[in-house]
Amino acid sequence: MNQRDLFLRHVAQTSEAPLALEFVRAEGSYLWDAKGKRYIDLIGGISVCNVGHRHPAVVAAIKDQADRYLHTMVYGETVQTPQVGYARLLAEHLPPSLNCVYFTNSGTEAVEGAMKLAKRATGRTEIVGFLEAYHGSSQGALSLMGDEYWRNAFRPLLPGIHHLRHNDTRDLARIGSQTACVVLETIQGEAGVRAPDAAWMRALRERCDQVGALLVLDEIQCGFGRNGTLWAFEQYGIVPDILLLGKALGGGMPLGAFVADRSLMYELASKPVLGHITTFGGHPVSCAAGMAAMRALLAERMVEGVAERETWFRTALENLPGVRALRSRGLMIALEFDSFETNKQVIDRAIAAGVFTDWFLHSAQSMRIVPPLNISREDVQRACEILALCISS
Ligand code: PMP
């Protein structure tokens, strides 16, 4: 039996039509399949490979940490140099009130931890999320899912969750004295790149302050330079009480985090003690890899190159016949067609022609373009030429 058949037989399937491509190597903005065919990767592991696949500094850091120690003890009891180093580096590049990092294994777990912290700190029970939101697939994070289709089969979910309309000022009044926290993607990802207005964001921040609710911003998909600033919230002139990170945070290794002020985070240390527990969260190899990725992102000034690359994509794709809309925030781009069927046809053709891409969960008619932040001009041009052919044929 070949690898594909073994994959279909023994690896749990979550779709009736998986891509089932077998990649055997990845480097920078490229993927290679088992037949030696090269693909330009326009999705970078879905916003994970911001510094490119297998950045040499990341690979070196993984090897170096693997030579020292792997797992030694559950989270929070012992001093682990990669965790300490990465938490400090993150704090140095965040506003002063975001100075304390709880590392998790995934984005979803960061969401879970933040919801618990908000309940614990406020003593309140209700949580506000938004329509079309995506925050993960565990039952807490799924309760925040902004679309009934995806959550209904898994009820009962968390009680006390309210979904407001995104970017709608009238709904802000529903954030009240029982609200522990409001959880929002700074830029909605799976909704197909939906950016709220700056005025609405400021009103949301003010409303949270007014009623004593914590503002949790999910930058798991849009953070780490993707939007042209290191953190997306910088563009709104507000600071969250809790920031959620994941995906690119680990430089290609599994890592998530929720970040808050030290005094707020300390709520997890008592009543009960061990308020949030994880065996592998903040794994030393993941932290070493993530720290190397962040250093590379900063040293190679990748964030500074995002706006230019966004323009290359916009110029090449925006006005093509058949493209209904192009929404972008830096290198987080949604190319919208008239239907899922059209989008899927273009995607299939693109993959066959050596450009790897996919669609968004809540915006299936839109193609996802979230490449490594250091993708070259030649690769952008080549990928766009191929996409243009796929759209017109
Ligand atoms: N929040 C957002 C905005 C995401 O895009 C994702 C993943 N797509 C998650 C949370 C969940 O992250 P993970 O899959 O690592 O659990």
Residues 103 and 15 both lie in one domain? no
Q: What is the 100 CA–ligand 1 centroid distance (Å)?
A: 21
Q: What is the 219 CA–ligand 1 centroid distance (Å)?
A: 9
pLDDT number for residue 321: 96
* For range 341-347, the mean pLDDT: 98
Phi-psi region of 167 (alpha: psi -120 to 50; beta: other; left: phi over 0): left
- Cis ω for the linkage preceding 240 (within 30 of 0): no
Q: What is the 313 CA–ligand 1 centroid distance (Å)?
A: 25
pLDDT number for residue 372: 98
Tell the residue nearest (CA) to atom 7 of ligand 1.
136
Q: What is the 87 CA–ligand 1 centroid distance (Å)?
A: 20
* For range 144-165, the mean pLDDT: 96
Find the angle CA(60)-CA(65)-CA(75) to the nearest 5 degrees. 135
Last residue of a domain, one of 275, 299, 323: 299
Distance, in Å, from the CA atom of 70 to the CA atom of 287, rounded to the nearest integer, reads 11
Quote the domain boundaries for residue 139.
57-299
Our count of domains for the chain comes to 2
The predicted-structure confidence for 76-134, as pLDDT tens digits, reads as follows 999 999 999 999 999 999 999 999 999 999 999 999 999 999 999 999 999 999 999 99
Distance, in Å, from the CA atom of 34 to the CA atom of 48, rounded to the nearest integer, reads 22
Tell the residue nearest (CA) to atom 1 of ligand 1.
135
Q: Residue 39, Cα to own-chain centre: how many angstroms?
A: 22
Residues 169 and 231 both lie in one domain? yes
Residues 219 and 72 both lie in one domain? yes
Q: What is the 110 CA–ligand 1 centroid distance (Å)?
A: 9
Residues 343 and 217 both lie in one domain? no
Last residue of a domain, one of 283, 299, 315: 299
pLDDT number for residue 276: 95
The predicted-structure confidence for 280-327, as pLDDT tens digits, reads as follows 999 999 999 999 999 999 999 999 999 999 999 999 999 999 999 999
| CATH label of the domain that carries residue 94 | 3.40.640.10
Q: Using pLDDT thresholds of 50, 70 and 90, give the confidence band for residue 50.
A: very high
Residues 294 and 315 both lie in one domain? no
Ligand 1 pocket by Cβ (under 6 Å):
106-108, 111, 134-136, 185, 189, 218, 220-221, 246, 256
Asked whether the beta carbons of 375 and 55 are under 8 A apart, the reply is no
Residues 112 and 98 both lie in one domain? yes
- The Cα-based distances of 218 to 4, 49, 57, 251, 388 in angstroms read 35, 18, 27, 18, 33
Residues 22 and 70 both lie in one domain? no
Q: Which atom of ligand 1 is nearest to the CA of 111?
A: 10
Q: Flag whether pLDDT at 272 surpasses 90.
A: yes
Residues 132 and 260 both lie in one domain? yes
Residues 271 and 223 both lie in one domain? yes
Tokens of 215: 């503002």
Distance, in Å, from the CA atom of 285 to the CA atom of 259, rounded to the nearest integer, reads 20
Q: Residue 97 phi/psi, 5° resolution?
A: -80, -10
Residues 84 and 159 both lie in one domain? yes
User: What angle, 0 to 180 degrees and rounded to 10, lies between the N-to-C axes of helices 340-352 and 377-392?
Assistant: 130
Residues 320 and 229 both lie in one domain? no
Tell the residue nearest (CA) to atom 13 of ligand 1.
107
Q: What is the total residue count of the chain?
A: 393
3-state secondary structure of 215: strand
Distance, in Å, from the CA atom of 330 to the CA atom of 328, rounded to the nearest integer, reads 6
Q: Using pLDDT thresholds of 50, 70 and 90, give the confidence band for residue 393.
A: confident
Q: What is the mean pLDDT of the chain?
A: 97
- Cis ω for the linkage preceding 321 (within 30 of 0): no
| CATH label of the domain that carries residue 44 | 3.90.1150.10
Tokens of 372: 């490594």
Residues 122 and 146 both lie in one domain? yes
Q: Give Cβ neighbours of residue 97 (< 8 Å, ≥ 6 apart).
A: 239, 241, 260, 261
The predicted-structure confidence for 164-213, as pLDDT tens digits, reads as follows 999 999 999 999 999 999 999 999 999 999 999 999 999 999 999 999 99
Q: What is the 353 CA–ligand 1 centroid distance (Å)?
A: 29
Q: Which atom of ligand 1 is nearest to the CA of 138?
A: 16
Last residue of a domain, one of 299, 331, 362: 299
Percent of the chain with pLDDT over 90: 99
Distance, in Å, from the CA atom of 330 to the CA atom of 227, rounded to the nearest integer, reads 4
Q: What is the 205 CA–ligand 1 centroid distance (Å)?
A: 23
Pocket test for ligand 1, best of 221, 224, 233 (most atoms within 8 A of CB): 221
N-term to C-term CA, the chain = 36
Find the angle CA(165)-CA(167)-CA(170) to the nearest 5 degrees. 65
Tell the residue nearest (CA) to atom 2 of ligand 1.
135
Asked whether the beta carbons of 131 and 190 are under 8 A apart, the reply is no
